[in-house]
Amino acid sequence: MKRTHSRIIMGATLGAAAIAVVVDHTRQRLPEPHKQLASQEAVIIIEEGEEIPTPSGECGTSASPGRRSSPCSL
């Protein structure tokens, strides 16, 4: 493949990717500030005698949107 062909393909790809990002950003805005806060910290209330949950031991539950608490975000 000639260098010119490589450049055309890469340019088209980068252009398409940029359009996709713009479309996605327009359709799905940034989360509300309170959700962003929730993504930083998650408070878990544990009843007496209950085992301490290990959110990092599995993919996580819908209760915690915290990036840091889920190995699935690696």
Partner 1 sequence: MKSVTARPASNQLAVLFSSAAILAISLYIQQAVSGTQYLTFVIGVGLGITLLHAAFGFSGGWRLFIRERIGTGIRAQLLLLALTSLLFFPLLGQVFPSIQASAALAPVGTSVIVGAFLFGIGMQLGGGCGSGTLYTMGQGQVDMLVTLTFFIVGATLGSAHLHWWLSLPGYASFSVIQHFGWWQALLAQSLLLAALYALVHRLELRRNGLVKPVEWRVPRQELAQRLLHGQWPLWWGVLGLAGLNLATLLVAGYPWSITYAFGLWGAKIWSAIGGDPGSWAYWNTGYPRLSLNSSVLFDTTSVMDFGVILGALLAAALAGKYAPAMKLDGKRIFTAMTGGLLLGYGARLAFGCNIGALVGGISSGSLHGWLWLVAGFCGAIAGVYLRIWMKIDKPLGAPS
Point out which residues bind partner 1 (CB under 8 A): 1-3, 5-7, 9-10, 13, 20-21, 23-25, 28-31, 35, 39-40, 54-74
We find the least distance from the C-beta atom of residue 56 to partner 1, in angstroms, to be: 5
Q: Tokens 């031991």 correspond to what residue?
A: 57
What is the C-alpha separation between 4 and 12, in angstroms, rounded?
12
Please say which residue, 1 or 43, places its beta carbon nearer to partner 1.
1
Q: How many CB atoms lie within 10 A of CB 43?
A: 6
Nearest approach, Cβ of 5 to partner 1 (angstroms)?
Answer: 8
Output 30 or 49, the one with its CB closest to partner 1.
30
Rounded-to-integer distance, Cα 33 and Cα 11, Å: 36
CB of 48 to partner 1, least distance (A): 22
CA distance linking residue 37 with residue 50, whole number of Å: 27
